A and B are shown apart, each in its own frame.
Chain A
Amino acid sequence: GESVGLHLPTLSVQEGDNSIINCAYSNSASDYFIWYKQESGKGPQFIIDIRSNMDKRQGQRVTVLLNKTVKHLSLQIAATQPGDSAVYFCAEGLGGAQKLVFGQGTRLTINP
């Protein structure tokens, strides 16, 4: 498959543990945030989103936390599985997802 971002920050976790991936966004006016997962050789896949009027949103095994005071976004993955291995990108948008700005990405690796 394709290798994306060979020099990305990497997070290694044990299978079954919880993972926390962090992202600092740049524009204090951004009002919409998305997390994407990109597996090798594939396009980014939508995971979860959150609007700026919320500070927490939960999905299936994932939780996104938003701290607007420090412009910080995090993605928590519960009970990490081998299939969670991927590069995770946060993206910020203004007025929705019309013009997203992506973060550099974090590579998550799962240790058996």
Chain B
Amino acid sequence: DSGVTQTPKHLITATGQRVTLRCSPRSGDLSVYWYQQSLDQGLQFLIQYYNGEERAKGNILERFSAQQFPDLHSELNLSSLELGDSALYFCASSARLASGADTQYFGPGTRLTVL
């Protein structure tokens, strides 16, 4: 158990709908990262928040948005869903290791199925 929690575990919805995925980072971690993992794309970085502010942006569609709240939990909002959005969505939070480098600890993921 990494200490990162994500809800829901599974989500099934229809095209055109909007969903919200939730993530709670490890205690004390200020950074939250969102990734999409599909069968043909591997792990794709979407966006990072640090202490409530957007820090880095990856391959995130305009239909997707995220935010990090004062209690440091984060939500990923996916709208106008398409079949191709079906994937695993992971949240990770970062901690500083003894090596002096940050690493990212991943949650269990949310499986999104768009029908």
Taking beta carbons and an 8 Å cutoff, which residues of A are in contact with B?
2-7, 32, 34, 36, 42-46, 49, 51, 89, 91, 96-105
Within the complex, which residue of B45, B58, B100, B103 is in contact with A34, where a contact is CB–CB below 8 Å?
Answer: B103
Question: In the complex, which residues of chain B have a beta carbon less than 8 angstroms from the beta carbon of A99?
Answer: 45, 48, 56, 58
Tell me whether A5 and B97 are in contact (CB under 8 A).
no
Taking beta carbons and an 8 Å cutoff, which residues of B are in contact with A?
2, 4, 31, 37, 39-40, 42-45, 48, 55-56, 58, 88, 90, 92, 94, 97, 99-109, 111
Secondary structure at chain A's binding surface: helix, strand, loop or mixed? Answer: loop
Question: In the complex, which residues of chain B have a beta carbon less than 8 angstroms from the beta carbon of A3?
Answer: 39
Within the complex, which residue of B2, B99, B102 is in contact with A45, where a contact is CB–CB below 8 Å?
Answer: B2
Question: In the complex, which residues of chain B have a beta carbon less than 8 angstroms from the beta carbon of A97?
Answer: 94, 101-104
Question: In the complex, which residues of chain A have a beta carbon less than 8 angstroms from the beta carbon of B111?
Answer: 2
Bound form: Cα–Cα A102–B40 in Å: 13
Bound form: Cα–Cα A34–B101 in Å: 10
Within the complex, which residue of A5, A32, A44, A101 is in contact with B45, where a contact is CB–CB below 8 Å?
Answer: A101
Bound form: Cα–Cα A45–B2 in Å: 8
Tell me whether A98 and B102 are in contact (CB under 8 A).
yes
How many whole Å from B10's CB to the nearest CB in chain A? 10
> What 5 A-B pairs have minimum CB-CB distances, sorted nearest first?
A43-B106, A102-B43, A97-B102, A96-B102, A44-B106
Bound form: Cα–Cα A98–B101 in Å: 10
Tell me whether B101 and A32 are in contact (CB under 8 A).
yes
Tell me whether B45 and A46 are in contact (CB under 8 A).
no
Do A45 and B106 contact each other (CB < 8 Å), given the known contacts A2-B111, A98-B56, A99-B58? yes
Tell me whether B108 and A43 are in contact (CB under 8 A).
yes
Tell me whether B101 and A96 are in contact (CB under 8 A).
yes
Q: 13 more A-B contacts (CB under 8 A) besides A97-B102, A98-B48, A99-B56?
A: A4-B37, A7-B40, A49-B99, A51-B99, A51-B100, A51-B101, A97-B104, A99-B58, A100-B45, A102-B42, A102-B43, A102-B45, A105-B43
Bound form: Cα–Cα A98–B102 in Å: 7
Question: In the complex, which residues of chain A have a beta carbon less than 8 angstroms from the beta carbon of B88?
Answer: 2, 4
Tell me whether B55 and A43 are in contact (CB under 8 A).
no
How many whole Å from A39's CB to the nearest CB in chain B? 11
